[in-house]
């Protein structure tokens, strides 16, 4: 079966995107990463994508209306031929129009055990709450922030001396594994039935 074509949206480092790129190199992986797009031309992940021979699109959102920027992004993604969008550290709210256009075809990785700790500072909030476990979630993107149906989660035990940074580093390891696997399951389940 043809591999599902994925566009990944990033804003910075892009380590989750890199995890998806490496996962896609496995022969049995059902997807390929065909575009990496960023709302920040300085995003470090863009250099990685270029080195891996993946097409990139970078455009700053600054000075543009959200809907206007998202329309540009949507046009670029469609031009690439992508069938799915994977958000990977994309730190910008998407317009309802964009979310509507990719309904059921867009997923996100979030560094908490949703529905706990939507939004930012998830690790500090988990520590402040005295939680025993932090973790990450892959979910379908809907109009509400970090709210769509959860596809997969991984729990990460909190250690006594954890700081937000030390916890984030361990959760990131779990993110990389969880995202690549959940995306594979998602595209398999979404593929048109033969």
Q: 88 exposed, middle or buried (CB, 10 Å; 0-12, 13-18, 19+)? A: buried
Q: For ligand GRF, which is the closer residue by CB, 71 or 166?
A: 166
d(CA 128, CA 135): 15
* Stretch of 78-86, 106-114, 126-134, 181-189 lying at the interface with ligand GRF (CB under 6 A): 106-114
Size of the site for ligand GRF (CB under 6 A): 13
Q: Binding of ligand GRF at residue 106 (CB under 6 A)?
A: no
Stretch touching ligand GRF by CB under 6 A, among 10-18, 24-32, 55-63, 148-156: 10-18
**What are the residues facing 35 on neighbouring strands?**
7, 55
Q: Does 111 bind ligand GRF (CB under 6 A)?
A: yes
Local structure of 186: helix, strand or coil: helix
The minimum distance between CB 187 and ligand GRF, in angstroms, equals 19
Residue 110 designated active-site? yes
Closest approach of ligand GRF to the CB of residue 104, in Å: 21
Q: How far apart are CA 69 and CA 60, in angstroms?
A: 9
Whole-angstrom distance, CA of residue 91 vs CA of residue 105: 19
* Of 7, 8, 15, 186, the one binding ligand GRF by CB under 6 A: 15
Rounded to 10°, the helix 15-24/164-190 angle is 40
The catalytic residue positions are 110
Q: Which residues bind ligand GRF (CB under 6 A)?
A: 10, 12-16, 88-89, 109-111, 172, 175
């Amino acid at each position: 079966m043809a591999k599902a074509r994925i566009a990944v949206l990033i804003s910075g480092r892009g380590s989750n995107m890199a995890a998806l790129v490496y996962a896609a190199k496995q022969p049995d992986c059902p997807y390929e990463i065909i575009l990496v797009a960023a709302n920040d031309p300085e995003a470090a992940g863009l250099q990685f994508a270029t080195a891996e021979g993946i097409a990139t699109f970078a455009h700053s959102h600054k000075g543009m209306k959200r809907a206007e920027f998202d329309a540009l992004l949507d046009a670029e993604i469609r031009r690439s031929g992508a069938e799915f969008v994977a958000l990977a550290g994309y730190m910008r709210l998407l317009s309802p129009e964009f979310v509507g256009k990719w309904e059921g075809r867009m997923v996100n990785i979030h560094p908490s055990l949703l529905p706990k700790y939507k939004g930012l500072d998830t690790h500090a909030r988990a520590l402040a709450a005295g939680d025993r476990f932090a973790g990450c979630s892959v979910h379908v993107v809907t109009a509400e922030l970090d709210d769509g149906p959860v596809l997969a989660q991984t729990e990460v035990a909190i250690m006594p001396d954890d700081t937000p940074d030390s916890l984030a580093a361990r959760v990131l390891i779990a993110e990389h594994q969880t995202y690549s696997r959940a995306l594979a399951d998602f595209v398999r389940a979404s593929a048109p039935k033969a």
